[in-house]
Amino acid sequence: MRDAQGFVSQTTACNEVSDLVGLKAHQQAWESFAACAVSMIPVLKKQMEAVTQQTQRAATDLMTHISALTLQEAPSRSTETSARLSQIVMAMQFQDITQQKLEHVAQALDQWDKHLQALLKGPQDENAKQEIATLEQLEQSYTMEEERRLHVATLAPDYQEPVPIDTEQTEAESDSVTLF
């Protein structure tokens, strides 16, 4: 027969064991997630690199064909044709811009990978803290105003799809040239 005190102690011990089992399961779940993420990050990066290479090949081919079609008639080209060619060249730059954006995402994935690997080795040490600090400074790796704006907008609590688009063309053009 147990007294009230003994019953309470036993209940507390049971709760502690249950908490420990829960924590262990939680830790195992995190470790599985981290291990999976560490193995998947290089795959995601390769997928992005493949997209970049394919679009680069396509853009290069297109420019080669456009050059071949238009170079001979350059001196006699009409104003309208010149304007249309300018629009084509502007539009074709999507490849370089997309490539740079994907490279910045890849850099962030690298940091994430390093941080997860450091966490998998044990409690958060100085290395892991440094990696997460670098990840938090992701914004500094951006080169485009559009990337910075999207980053800030996505972190905002009231963020909603669709993704914010670039500023009006007129504003973008007025800021695009600076002579010193």
Partner 1 sequence: MSKTALVVDDSPTMRQMVAFTLTNAGFNVVEAEHGKDAVNKVIAGPKMDIVVTDLNMPEMDGIGLIKELRKMAAFKFTPILMLTTESAIEKKQAGKEAGATGWIVKPFNPEVMLKIIAKVLPA
Does residue 144 bind partner 1 (CB under 8 A)? yes
* Residue 99 CB, nearest approach to partner 1 (Å): 7
Question: Is the torsion defined by CA of 8, 14, 18, 24 positive or negative?
Answer: positive
The stretch near partner 1 (CB under 8 A) out of 10-18, 97-105, 109-117, 125-133 is 97-105
The stretch near partner 1 (CB under 8 A) out of 3-11, 28-36, 95-103, 126-134 is 95-103
Give how many residues touch partner 1 by CB under 8 A: 34
Q: Give the number of other CB atoms < 10 A from CB of residue 64.
A: 10
Structure tokens at 86: 């300018």
* Residue 172 CB, nearest approach to partner 1 (Å): 8
- Give pairs for 50-58: CB < 8 Å, separation 24+: 51/102, 52/98, 52/99, 52/102, 52/103, 55/95, 55/98, 55/99, 56/95, 56/99, 58/95
Does residue 139 bind partner 1 (CB under 8 A)? no
Among 94, 151, 153, 171, binds partner 1 (CB under 8 A): 94
Contact between 92 and 59 (Cβ < 8 Å): yes
Among 82, 124, 137, 154, binds partner 1 (CB under 8 A): 82
Q: Give the number of other CB atoms < 10 A from CB of residue 69.
A: 10
Q: In which element (H, E) is residue 75 found? A: none
Among 41, 45, 48, 95, binds partner 1 (CB under 8 A): 95
Does residue 170 bind partner 1 (CB under 8 A)? no
Interacting residues toward partner 1 by CB under 8 A: 56, 59-60, 63-64, 66-67, 70-71, 74, 82-83, 85-86, 89-90, 92-97, 99-100, 143-145, 173, 175-180
